Amino acid sequence: MTKQLILIEGLPGSGKSTIAKMVSEILTEQGKRVQLIQEGNLDHPADYDGVAFFTAEEFRSLVDAHEECKHILESKATAYQDGFLIPYRKMKEEFGVDFPDYVVQEIFNKDIYELPFEQNLKLIIEKWRSFAESVISADDDSITIFECCFIQNPLTIGMVKTNQSREENVQYVLELERIVQPLNPLLIYIHQEDLAHTFDKAIQERPKEWSAGFVQYYTNQGWGLAKGYHGVEGTVKVLQARKELETEIYQLLKMDKHWLDNSEYNRAACQEELEKILKISL
């Protein structure tokens, strides 16, 4: 059966973006039709980024409180189930100062990844189900590549943010696996041996705002807060716990999967290994 979905997973700084691009380039050179969806894509077909969910009552209260944005809110929000989806980041890009920051911040408070775990789970599961159904109905031979939304995002909300039980986190990912199974997916998990070095490398390469926000997110709530962790050292401990859970989930998954060691950051070696993986799996 033709592979229709490739999932690239790993911890922050492990090289997911680079590996995802390499996979896309290899397949494109082989003449395959490829769609690469990376982290932060505001039009993600199976996930949400910069999108909030308001119940119908909450949405009406939001509109009534911000008469100056009424037309923007009503024209861009999408009715969904018993409420509305608001793509506030795309709206900010489109309307700029006409869509004030204080309104954006109020909407952000109900971002899908700021919602309670059960509500997030329901919305994300439905999004993945819709994606899988659309791929099946399209009946073409294109391959979609997703970076980090299959394991990372469920554990970010379920473990890092809300400190759900091990079973709840595991079942979240296993449910996604059940949904995409008809697409004959391939999972490439990027392994990093030295997590402290990996995270330090990410800190050095990215803006200070990223590292400060990351440390706060990982230690001021959920698992990190429950353990009393602080700072960069505490963040690494949370990442280590996350890696242990991701490894356990990897072992439970029944899909075609490959463990890619990127500890040495050797592009040539990764390229060679990826070509072998793709040759075996595709």
pLDDT tens track for 97-120: 999 999 999 999 999 999 999 999
pLDDT above 80 (res 70) = yes
Over 214-238, what HEC string results? HHHHHHCCHHHHHHCCCHHHHHHHH
Q: Average pLDDT for residues 46-73, to the nearest whole number? A: 97
pLDDT above 80 (res 265) = no
pLDDT given at position 1: 65
pLDDT tens track for 184-221: 999 999 998 888 988 888 899 889 999 999 999 999 99
Distances (CA, A) of 62 to 65, 77, 103, 104, 106: 5, 12, 9, 11, 9
Residue 69 half-sphere exposure, CB side, CA atoms within 13 Å? 26
pLDDT tens track for 3-42: 999 999 999 888 899 999 999 999 999 999 999 999 999 9
Reported as a pLDDT band with limits 50, 70 and 90, residue 269 is confident
Beta-sheet pairing, 143-147 with 5-10: parallel
Instruction: Tell me which H or E stretch contains 53.
Output: strand 52-55
